[in-house]
């Protein structure tokens, strides 16, 4: 398994290697943030909006917290929550899509119409509305975003699985008397994995950006937890003075998004079987 993965990686383009390196660096920062940061996540260590110095490499924020420390802790919070949310969205949407395509009939029709209704409402506006109603905490945010994003996963999983369930080997399994869960686990899912893995990377980017947008609007990850979206909002006033500090969290968001897309593009190209 590892040898096969390494052979594929050796054939990967520079953009894929760049994306993998960036993603790994973010993971390392997320796991080792307490070791890498000079100060605590919520610790007030200086004057508000202190300039870049040897003591505060990226200055301080609006209440005197070290920006470098909060930027590194933000990787743990923003990226970690986005990953958990994407996994939950894939579990809900992926399972529903595979069940709809495998069972068919009224089950497929009912699930598809529910998804159509949810997708008819703009995702950001719907998320803002639901978070305003149920309250803005991390658990509610994860559940709401996962539910809304699962509709996109459902559409892809259903489309891919629909092409698989008409294959002869699935019909043979049905004639043998295999149950729905057996068909999904042994026949449909293994033959739908490649596009779903690629979609996971794209969905992660969208969830990541949505969480950052909600935090920027004040309805995402709540203070004093470090989050890149809220860090941009809290320190936006510095831009009027020519200070680029508020742009650093935005740059971290953009860099990870580009890196994930580089890796997803390579995976799609590799799984398609096309030659360079």
pLDDT for residue 189: 83
CB 215 within 8 A of CB 230: yes
261-268 average pLDDT score = 83
Give pLDDT tens digits for 127-179: 888 888 888 888 889 999 999 999 999 998 888 888 888 888 888 888 887 77
Mean pLDDT over the full length of the chain: 85
Homologous superfamily of domain range 75-272? MetI-like (1.10.3720.10)
19-27 average pLDDT score = 90
User: In 3-state terms, what secondary structure has residue 66?
Assistant: strand
pLDDT for residue 85: 92
* pLDDT band per the 50, 70, 90 thresholds, residue 25: very high
Give pLDDT tens digits for 90-133: 999 989 998 888 888 888 889 989 998 888 888 888 888 888 88
pLDDT for residue 136: 80
Helix 2-10, helix 14-31: angle, nearest 10: 130
pLDDT for residue 6: 63
Alpha helices in the chain (DSSP H): 2-10, 14-31, 33-36, 67-74, 80-103, 105-119, 123-134, 138-165, 168-175, 180-183, 193-217, 228-234, 247-272
pLDDT for residue 274: 47
Q: Output the pTM of the full model.
A: 0.85
User: Residue ranges of the domains in the chain?
Assistant: 75-272
pLDDT over 90 at 88, yes or no: yes
pLDDT for residue 89: 92
Task: Give Cα 80 distance to the centre of its chain.
Answer: 9
pLDDT for residue 9: 66
CB 151 within 8 A of CB 115: yes
Q: What is the DSSP string of 146-192?
A: HHHHHHHHHHHHHHHHHHHHTSHHHHHHHHTT--HHHHIIIIIGGGS
């Amino acid at each position: 398994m590892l040898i096969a993965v390494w052979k594929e990686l050796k054939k990967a383009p520079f953009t894929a290697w760049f994306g993998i390196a960036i993603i790994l660096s973010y993971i390392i920062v997320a796991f080792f943030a307490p070791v890498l940061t000079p100060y605590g996540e919520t610790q007030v260590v200086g004057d508000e909006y202190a300039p870049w110095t040897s003591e505060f490499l990226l200055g301080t924020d609006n209440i005197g917290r070290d920006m470098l420390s909060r930027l590194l802790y933000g990787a743990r919070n923003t990226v970690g929550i986005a990953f958990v949310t994407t996994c939950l969205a894939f579990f809900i949407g992926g399972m529903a899509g595979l069940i709809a395509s495998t069972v068919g009939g009224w089950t497929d029709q009912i699930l598809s119409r529910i998804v159509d209704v949810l997708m008819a409402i703009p995702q950001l506006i719907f998320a803002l509305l639901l978070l305003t109603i149920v309250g803005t905490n991390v658990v509610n945010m994860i559940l709401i975003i996962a539910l809304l994003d699962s509709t996109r996963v459902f559409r892809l999983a259903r489309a891919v699985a629909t092409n698989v369930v008409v294959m002869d080997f699935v019909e043979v399994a049905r004639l043998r008397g295999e149950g729905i869960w057996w068909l999904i686990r042994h026949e449909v899912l293994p033959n739908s994995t490649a596009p779903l893995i690629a979609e996971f990377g794209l969905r992660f980017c969208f969830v990541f950006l949505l969480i950052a947008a909600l935090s920027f609007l004040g309805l995402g990850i709540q203070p004093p937890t470090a989050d890149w979206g809220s860090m941009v909002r809290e320190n936006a006033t510095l831009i009027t003075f020519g200070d680029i500090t508020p742009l650093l969290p935005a740059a971290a968001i953009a860099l990870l998004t580009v890196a994930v897309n580089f890796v997803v593009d390579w995976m799609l190209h590799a799984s398609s079987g096309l030659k360079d």
